[in-house]
Structure 1
Amino acid sequence: MKTLLLIALFCSVFPLLHAEDCVKIEEKAEQKEVQIIPRWGMKVIAPTRVYFHSAPSNACKIRDLFMIKNDHITAYSTYDDGQEQWVSIMYFSKRLGDTVQGWAKLKDFEYTGTMSGF
């Protein structure tokens, strides 16, 4: 019985700890990100889904929020975590009828041109 209680407690607390880590990663990225001015237009070149992340880390992937090949985005900044290059992006989702913002891996995109700055 104690084991089941501990498992239940861990399963309810773990997502909260994970969310805290993503907040810390995002704060660190904000301090070291490189702003892109003028903004870059880019398109997805990856053959598979490109997922949004709440922070530039594989651990911060947002399930069920992704783009597919040839979707176009606006890039705002880049961040290098020492292992991977990330890009802060905005995407207009026709399905949601609104913009979506987050982080994605830079390698999954191709530069298509610059956009107006401010």
Structure 2
Amino acid sequence: MQTLPRALLLITALGAMSPSLAADCARLAKAASEHEGYIRPPLSFAVTGQGRLYFHTAPDAQCRSKTLFVIPGDELIAYSAVQGWFSVMYVNPKTGEDASGWVHAERLKARGRIGPEG
């Protein structure tokens, strides 16, 4: 999986942002979209650890969703990365409904690529 480390190394711009920006999740999400490293093809990850892994509206601990989370064993699809965070999608296997957001990378274990290598 050569794409993953390269994607994580591409992103350094958010570390220099001011703390006041971190509290404004909408602005932080916009900034992240301008600096994220895209993962092509997307990667599949399993949620690890214990307890709920909450989704965030931006790659910042202050931007946590109060209700949207996954649990260990759930599978996520990662599309981009920003400094220890992945932009992911979860598809509920029972309902087919999906949810997207940012999650901490340390709670994820790579399972493989989704689609052909480009």
Task: State the TM bucket, normalised to the shorter chain.
Answer: 0.7 to 0.9
**1:39 paired residue number:** 42
Instruction: Spell out structure 1 runs of 4+ moving beyond 6 A.
Output: none
**1:30 paired residue number:** 33
Is 1:53 aligned with 2:56? yes
**1:114 paired residue number:** 113
Question: Can you give the 5+ residue segments of structure 2 that lack an aligned partner in the other structure?
Answer: 1-22
Q: TM-score, normalised by structure 2?
A: 0.74
3-state SS in 2 of match to 1:47: coil
Question: Can you give the 5+ residue segments of structure 1 that lack an aligned partner in the other structure?
Answer: 1-19
**1:74 paired residue number:** 77
Q: Distance in 2 between matches of 1:41 and 1:94?
A: 14
Q: Flag the structure with larger Rg.
A: 1
Q: How many residues align?
A: 95
Query: For residues 83-109 of structure 1, what are the alpha-carbon distances to aligned partners after superposition, in whole Å with 9 as ceiling and x for unaligned?
Result: xx0000000135764100000000010
Per the TM alignment, residue 116 of structure 1 is displaced from its structure 2 partner at its CA by 1.1
3-state SS in 2 of match to 1:56: coil
CA RMSD of aligned residues (A): 1.8
Per the TM alignment, residue 25 of structure 1 is displaced from its structure 2 partner at its CA by 0.4
